[in-house]
């Protein structure tokens, strides 16, 4: 496969391909020396491959200017072995070497550089979406699936794909930065759905108000219901709140490893603490105090401006952290979609509320009656702490427990929190 450079007078002598599978060859011996005149087709050297030995005919007439590859050397097919200067005439003293920059060695390479790429563009990848950009944004199937699974509002994500497209990478990054897997949990106290007493309805003003831009509006039924429940709790229970700090180092590590949020992990620890202090897993209805063995865990879920609701994970003590995470996700999603069944908002024995991702560090939650305690999780913040008389940076959080002094004393509350803290700080995956 000898080739010629079209402009310069130097012609390359290259290692030919003797057979479709041959990749290299050896120069057995040179028949000419630098300075020698060589005629086109005259044998210039002998080459050997593992298939065959052959004479290599010179590709052009001229003076052999330089030998690049000495006898005995093995080189890949296409390697320049020597050069012939076609500018001279036989008998002339050979001219200076290296006339001008080397042209591409083979016509193939030259052609490939210059060639128009074939019609078949690799891409059909020009996104159509850039055309119908106004209004509806388009999301790829995997992005849609992940958004559904993790309950993400895609409009909240900055797209880095072509034309501002939200890519899978963008979603993954968003989740990693702890957009919580579930949407924000509520800030205020829990709400327990119960059928409205018939007379309550009559108390509601029925007459439509004349529309006026600045006229005061009436609270929604849900809002009024929540309000009533909160007020009753604060009026009947002897509500106290105790707090403790906890080092979330292990929980944070487990979070990452298991791709969960902190809530199910802490819930798991809370359940363990409740088993150790079952007095907090109880109901107080008037004078009647019922301690429960099973933990039916309520998780407060915000419904945005409309209010909040507390779906219950029945028999939560039988679930692992992953199991709790799945249940929480499912209940939260259905709560927001209005798909909870009555059984799913009844029968809780303990409640956890977790509004922490907005940055607040402590709160005084209202007890979700007839339960006797409620646990509040706030933000996890990196702080400098003292460990073994040295300063360390740890992810810290404050657990708040509101409890009913009619049913228990502060010591018990503090013990519960101590147990919870112990479980959290010694988390090993169980």
When binding is defined by CB under 8 A, the residue of 137, 168, 224, 333 that contacts another protein is 168
Residues pairing with 237 in the sheet: none
> Is residue 158 part of the contact set for another protein (CB under 8 A)?
no
Which residues from 108-127 bind another protein, rule CB under 8 A? Answer: 108, 111-112, 115, 117-120, 122-125, 127
Length of the chain: 430
Q: Is 52 in the site for another protein (CB under 8 A)?
A: no
Phi, psi of 199 (to 5 degrees): -65, -30
Query: For another protein, which is the closer residue by CB, 17 or 228?
Result: 17
Q: Which of 140, 236, 242, 244 binds another protein (CB under 8 A)?
A: 140
Strand 373-377, strand 239-247: pairing: unpaired
Stretch that binds another protein, among 94-102, 135-143, 245-253, 380-388 (CB under 8 A): 135-143
Angle, helices 141-150/168-176, rounded to nearest 10 degrees? 20
Near another protein by CB under 8 A, which window of 7-15, 162-170, 307-315, 387-395? 162-170
Instruction: Output 171 or 420, the one with its CB closest to another protein.
Output: 171
Residues 6+ apart with CB under 8 A from 145: none
| In the complex, least distance from residue 84 CB atom to another protein, rounded to whole angstroms | 21
Print the binding letters for residues 69-108 with another protein: x by CB under 8 A, - otherwise.
-------------------------------------xxx
What is the full DSSP assignment across 132-160?
Answer: T-SSPPP--HHHHHHHHHHT--GGGSPP-
How far separated are the first and last CA of the chain, in Å rounded?
70
Nearer to another protein, 169 or 358 (CB): 169
Residue 51 binding another protein, by CB under 8 A = yes
The residue (of 163 and 278) whose beta carbon lies closer to another protein is 163
H/E stretch holding 416 = helix 410-425
Which of 165, 223, 224, 326 is the binder for another protein (CB under 8 A)?
A: 165
Distance, CA of 179 to chain centre:
10
Considering the rule CB under 8 A, would residue 23 count as an interface residue with another protein?
Answer: yes
Residues 6+ apart with CB under 8 A from 242: 400, 401, 403, 410, 413, 414, 417
According to DSSP, the residues that pair with 394 across neighbouring strands are 383
Render the burial of 171-191: b for 16+ CB within 10 Å, e for the rest: beebbeeebbbbbebbbbbbb
Contact 357, 306 (CB under 8 A): no
For residue 364, what are its two tokens? 């005084």
Task: State how far the Cα of 181 lies from the Cα of 184, in Å rounded to an integer.
Answer: 9
Nearer to another protein, 162 or 358 (CB): 162
Among 1, 200, 238, 393, binds another protein (CB under 8 A): 1
Contacts with another protein by CB under 8 A: the residue count is: 36
Report how far residue 373's alpha carbon sits from residue 413's, in angstroms, rounded to the nearest whole number.
9
Of 22 and 193, the one with the shorter C-beta distance to another protein is 22
Concerning whether 358 is annotated as a catalytic residue, the answer is no
Catalytic residue among 41, 150, 409, 428: 409
Cβ closest to another protein, residue 169 vs residue 406: 169
Catalytic residue among 85, 153, 405, 428: 405
Nearest distance, CB of residue 23 and another protein, angstroms: 5
Q: Which candidate, 112, 113, 140, places its Cα nearest to that of 125?
A: 140
Residues at the site binding another protein, with contacts judged by CB under 8 A: 1, 17, 20-24, 50-51, 106-108, 111-112, 115, 117-120, 122-125, 127, 140-145, 161-162, 165, 167-169
């Amino acid at each position: 496969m000898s080739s010629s450079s079209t402009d310069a007078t130097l012609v390359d002598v290259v290692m030919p391909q003797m057979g479709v599978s041959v990749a290299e060859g050896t120069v057995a011996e040179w028949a000419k020396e630098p300075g020698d005149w060589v005629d086109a087709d005259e044998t210039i050297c002998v080459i050997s491959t593992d298939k065959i030995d052959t004479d290599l005919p010179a590709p052009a007439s001229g003076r052999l200017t330089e030998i690049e590859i000495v006898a005995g050397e093995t080189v890949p097919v296409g390697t320049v072995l020597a050069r012939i200067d076609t500018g001279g005439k036989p008998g002339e003293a050979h001219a200076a070497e290296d006339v001008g920059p080397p042209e591409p060695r083979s016509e193939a390479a030259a052609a490939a550089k210059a060639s128009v790429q074939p019609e078949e563009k690799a891409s059909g990848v020009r996104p159509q979406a850039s055309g119908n950009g106004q209004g509806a944004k388009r999301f790829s199937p995997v992005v849609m699936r992940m958004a559904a699974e993790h309950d993400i509002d895609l409009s909240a994500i900055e797209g880095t794909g072509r034309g501002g497209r939200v890519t899978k990478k963008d979603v993954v990054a968003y989740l990693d930065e702890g957009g919580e897997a579930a949407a924000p949990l509520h800030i205020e106290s829990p709400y327990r759905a119960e059928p409205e007493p018939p007379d309550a309805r009559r108390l509601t003003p029925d007459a439509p108000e004349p529309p006026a831009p600045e006229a005061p509006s009436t609270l929604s039924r849900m809002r009024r219901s929540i309000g009533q429940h909160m007020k009753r709790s604060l009026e009947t229970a002897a509500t106290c709140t105790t707090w403790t700090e906890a080092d979330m180092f292990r929980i944070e590590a487990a979070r990452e490893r298991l791709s969960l949020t902190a809530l199910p992990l802490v819930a798991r620890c809370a359940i363990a603490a409740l088993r150790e202090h079952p007095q907090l897993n109880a109901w107080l209805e008037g004078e009647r105090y019922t301690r429960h063995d099973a933990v039916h865990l309520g998780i407060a879920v915000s419904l945005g401006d409309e209010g909040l609701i507390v779906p219950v994970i029945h028999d939560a003590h039988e679930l692992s952290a992953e199991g709790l995470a799945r249940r929480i996700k499912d209940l939260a999603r259905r709560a927001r979609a209005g798909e909870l069944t009555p059984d799913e908002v009844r029968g809780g024995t303990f409640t956890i509320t977790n509004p922490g991702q907005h940055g607040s560090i402590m709160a005084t939650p209202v007890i979700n009656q007839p339960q006797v305690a409620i646990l509040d999780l706030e933000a996890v913040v990196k702080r400098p702490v003292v460990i073994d008389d040295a300063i360390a940076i740890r992810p810290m959080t404050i657990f708040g427990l509101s409890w009913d002094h009619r049913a228990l004393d502060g010591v018990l509350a503090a013990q519960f929190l101590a147990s919870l803290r112990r479980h959290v700080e010694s988390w090993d995956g169980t």
